[in-house]
Amino acid sequence: MSAPTDPLARLASPLIVSVQADDGSPLRDTAHIVALARAALLGGAGGLRLRSAQDIRAVRPLTDLPIIGLTKQSHPDTPVYITATPAEVREVAAAGADLVAFDATDLPRPHTVRELVETAHAAGALALADISTLAEAQAAYAAGADLVGTTMSGYTSHSPQQQAPDFVLMHALAAAGLPFIAEGRLNSPELAAQALAAGARAVVVGSAITRPDHVTRWFAEALAGKR
């Protein structure tokens, strides 16, 4: 099967909402994920980013908008946890994801980026490479990725460790003429708009919209000791 045409063309807006709940979160059940996805769509999400085949299958009937799918699973032989294996790529594509997101960083990995890209394409999905540096983005495109996302910046030891989004990386990608999705710590509408201004094709926002436990912690920490 050949890969479909660019699903970002079908985005209803440049805002992709990541609807994920961490293991142990009270929102982890797929029923809660479906409710959060409905709320995101009601609010004007142009697309969704979802973790696990089960969540993708449950949300797919709600919308024709692009869905980015991934798995998050630890493996004994690698620090890579976002869709690390061809089997996981196939699982996510079969569940109905338009794009399969996978770790494309330089971390030690059991399967090459090219292998995961080819698996996504063979399954009829596009390949979205989650990167943390410009060099990883260049390598991912050379390996056939359809798009890259700045998802992993701040989450590999060789990328800047910071609370802010990685605007330096976004500007570098734009300057190199590499299309990208901005993702990671875009915790306010202003930061999301700044990412678009930096050249992002779309922005992914997760925690600020769909992780109320994180948002509560931001407020609690800001107010700690101020009473």
Ligand X SMILES: CC(=O)N[C@H](C=O)[C@@H](O)[C@H](O)[C@H](O)COP(=O)(O)O
Residues that bind ligand X (CB under 6 A): 18, 20, 70, 151-152, 155, 183-186, 204-207
Nearer to ligand X, 70 or 126 (CB): 70
Residue 2 DSSP SS3: coil
Smallest separation, CB 138 to ligand X (Å): 20
Smallest separation, CB 2 to ligand X (Å): 26
Do residues 181 and 147 make contact, with C-beta atoms less than 8 angstroms apart? yes
The residue sitting closest to ligand X, measured at its beta carbon, is 206
Nearer to ligand X, 43 or 227 (CB): 43
Nearer to ligand X, 24 or 177 (CB): 24
Number of H helices, E strands in the chain: 9, 8
Residue written as tokens 């982890």? Answer: 28
Instruction: State the pairing for strand pair 47-51/99-103.
Output: unpaired
Smallest separation, CB 157 to ligand X (Å): 13
Question: Cα-flanking dihedrals φ and ψ of residue 12, to 5°?
Answer: -75, -20
Nearer to ligand X, 5 or 192 (CB): 192
Smallest separation, CB 35 to ligand X (Å): 18
Amino acid at 21: A
Closest to 218 in 3D by CA, of 194, 187, 197, 181: 187
Q: What's the full length of the chain, in residues?
A: 227
Smallest separation, CB 186 to ligand X (Å): 6
Smallest separation, CB 3 to ligand X (Å): 21
- Tell whether the torsion through CA atoms of 212, 214, 218 and 220 is positive or negative: positive
Burial class of residue 219 (count of CB atoms within 10 Å of its CB; 0-12, 13-18, 19+): exposed
